[in-house]
């Protein structure tokens, strides 16, 4: 039994890359797939191979969307899933991005997603509800220096997904956005980016495969995610995860083994002793980049807690006496 049995799903930009993997995986899991793209020379052979429907679709054309969705409902009896995958990329900073490039990116990446959601909303409601999966990007969650238009378009996808999720929830339609990091796709291959630099900054230390994104889209299109809507689902190998502790990079190539050992039980220790104790007792010394590691000074761990408890009592005694003195001098019963 497939995870998408009998569900009618429309996937845009499905001729290659992430879209192709989504088409293959959805079909494998029992979906009735309609594959759409402008790359007819790639899309039609893929559809013939898999036994799915292919249609040419310019996602910026509202009339084309309406004609396609009407055909899908008429032919397949409804529509239950939409994956807005079609997108283009342009390199350019704020000052170097032309109006033409900006508008081209926004039309495909943003207008295309808007038209898709708008067109399927009513027939999907009539089909008993469903799921819309909008492929955004990490550029839709943080700054995208060097690809200004692309970042703007993907932030728009993130925002539209949240608003649509609220508007369509009572109609039984869930809407979520997917935010891939660096993925091995033809579109990425065509972009002049420093892949090795990104891989070095990625905790998992590799580029993702398109099928890994497809699995996320499958989960969100299936009933397995029945209580998930209006959310961002990140698939970036940890690239956007916090990598700093108290201002220090958590890179084990730059930390001494003692510090790495210390960090592991840190949460439990802080809960017992408090952040103030941590700030008082630990003095970190940042070393030059060429140094082998990072050193620190701290009290012996065996009697560290006892030392701090005595110190806290002393601090509290001084604070209480200061409060009494202040109350006696100015009559104010509340500490500042």
What would the pLDDT profile of 70-113 be if each residue is shown by its tens digit?
Answer: 999 999 999 999 999 999 999 999 999 999 999 999 999 999 99
Residue 54 lies in a domain: yes
Q: pLDDT for 207-245, tens place per residue?
A: 889 999 999 999 999 999 999 999 999 999 888 885 554
Cα 65 from Cα 77, distance rounded (Å): 17
CA 227 to each of CA 134, 192, 232: distance values in angstroms, whole numbers, following the listed order = 17, 39, 13
Beta partners for residue 234, in sequence order: 179
Give the pLDDT of residue 298.
Answer: 42
CATH number at residue 90: 3.40.50.720
Predicted local confidence at residue 271, as pLDDT: 52
Both 155 and 261 in one domain: the answer is no
Residue 150 is a catalytic residue = yes
Domain, as residue range, for 223:
8-235
3 within a domain of the structure (yes/no): no
Please state at what angle helix 301-330 crosses helix 266-273, rounded to 10 degrees.
30
At residue 75, the pLDDT reads 97
Kindly write down the DSSP assignment for every residue of 232-270, as one continuous string: EEEESTTTTS--EETTEE--TTTS-HHHHHHHTTHHHHH
Band of residue 295 on the pLDDT scale cut at 50, 70, 90: very low
Residue 28: inside a domain:
yes
Same domain, 106 and 66: yes
Per cent of the chain over pLDDT 90 is 58
- Assess whether pLDDT exceeds 60 at residue 307: no
Whether residue 274 has pLDDT greater than 80: no
Q: With cut-offs at 50, 70 and 90, classify the pLDDT of residue 29.
A: very high
Is the pLDDT at 265 greater than 60? The verdict is: no
Question: Residue 190 pLDDT more than 90?
Answer: no
Q: What single-letter DSSP state applies at residue 131? A: E
* Model confidence at 332: pLDDT above 50: no
Cα separation, 240 vs 243, whole angstroms: 8
Active-site position among 150, 155, 179, 222: 150
pLDDT of amino acid 272: 54
Per DSSP, the three-state class of 136 is coil
117-142 mean pLDDT? 96
161-170 own/partner pairs: CB under 8 Å, 24+ apart? 161/132, 161/134, 161/136, 161/230, 161/232, 162/230, 164/117, 164/132, 165/229, 165/230, 165/231, 166/230, 168/121, 168/125, 168/132, 169/229, 169/230
CA dihedral 237, 239, 244, 248 (to 10 degrees): 110
Predicted local confidence at residue 314, as pLDDT: 56
Which DSSP state fits 217?
H
Q: Whole-number mean pLDDT of the chain? A: 81
Residues 317 and 290 occupy one common structural domain: yes
- Domain match, 192 and 149 both: yes
> Tokens 């808007």 label which residue?
114
Read off the pLDDT of each residue in 309-316 and give the average, rounded to a whole number. 54
End-to-end CA distance of the chain: give it in Å, rounded. Answer: 67
pLDDT tens digits, one per residue of 134-150: 999 988 888 888 899 99
Q: Is the C-alpha dihedral spanning 140, 146, 150, 156 positive or negative?
A: positive
Domain presence at residue 96? yes
For 9-27, the pLDDT digits (tens) are 999 999 999 999 999 999 9
CA distance 273 to 15: 57
Q: Give the whole-angstrom CA distance, residue 195 versus residue 157.
A: 24
pLDDT of residue 335: 33
Question: b/e for 203-221, b at 16 or more Cβ within 10 A?
Answer: eeeebbebbbbbebbbbbb
pLDDT band at 277 (very low <50, low <70, confident <90, very high): very low
Q: Which of 217, 235, 253 is the last residue of a domain?
A: 235
The count of domains in the chain is: 2
In a domain? residue 335: no
pTM > 0.85: yes or no: no
Residue 32 pLDDT > 50, yes or no?
A: yes
- List pLDDT tens digits, range 153-175: 999 999 999 999 999 999 999 99
Coil, strand, or helix at residue 22? helix
Domain match, 117 and 181 both: yes
223 and 312 both lie in a single domain: no
Q: Per-residue pLDDT for 254 more than 90?
A: no
Question: Residue 31, SS3?
Answer: coil
Which tops the pLDDT comparison, 289 or 47? 47
Q: Of the candidates 171, 206, 235, which is a domain's last residue?
A: 235
Q: Which among 110, 14, 11, 111 has a CA at the least distance from the CA of 68?
A: 11
């Amino acid at each position: 039994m497939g995870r998408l049995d009998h569900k009618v799903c429309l996937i845009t930009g499905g001729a290659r890359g992430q879209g192709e993997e989504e088409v293959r995986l959805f079909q494998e899991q029992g979906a009735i797939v309609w594959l759409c793209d402008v790359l007819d020379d790639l899309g039609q052979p893929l559809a013939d191979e898999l036994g799915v429907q292919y249609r040419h679709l310019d996602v910026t054309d509202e009339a084309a969307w309406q004609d396609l969705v009407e055909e899908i409902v008429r032919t397949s009896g409804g529509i239950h899933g939409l994956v807005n995958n079609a997108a283009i990329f342009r390199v350019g900073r704020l000052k170097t991005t032309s109006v033409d490039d900006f508008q081209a990116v926004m039309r495909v990446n943003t207008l295309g997603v808007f038209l898709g959601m708008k067109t399927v909303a009513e027939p999907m409601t009539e089909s008993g509800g469903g799921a819309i999966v909008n492929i955004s990007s990490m550029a839709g969650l943080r700054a995208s220096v060097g690809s200004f238009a692309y970042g703007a378009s993907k932030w728009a996808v993130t925002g539209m997904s949240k608003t649509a999720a609220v508007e369509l929830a009572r109609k039984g339609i869930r809407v979520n956005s997917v935010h891939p990091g660096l993925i091995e796709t033809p579109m990425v291959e065509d972009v002049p980016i420093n892949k090795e630099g990104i891989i070095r900054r990625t905790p998992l230390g590799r580029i993702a495969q398109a099928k890994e994104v497809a699995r996320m889209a499958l989960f969100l299109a299936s009933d397995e995610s029945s209580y998930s809507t209006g959310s961002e689902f990140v698939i970036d190998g940890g690239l956007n995860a916090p990598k700093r502790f108290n201002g220090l990079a958590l890179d084990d190539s730059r930390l001494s083994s003692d510090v790495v050992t210390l960090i592991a039980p840190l949460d439990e220790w802080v809960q017992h002793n408090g952040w103030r104790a941590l700030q008082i007792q630990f003095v970190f010394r940042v070393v030059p980049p060429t140094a082998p590691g990072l050193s620190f000074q701290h009290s012996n761990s065996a009697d560290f807690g006892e030392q701090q408890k005595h110190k806290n009592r002393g601090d509290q005694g001084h604070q209480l006496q200061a409060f009494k003195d202040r109350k006696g001098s100015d009559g104010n019963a509340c500490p500042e």
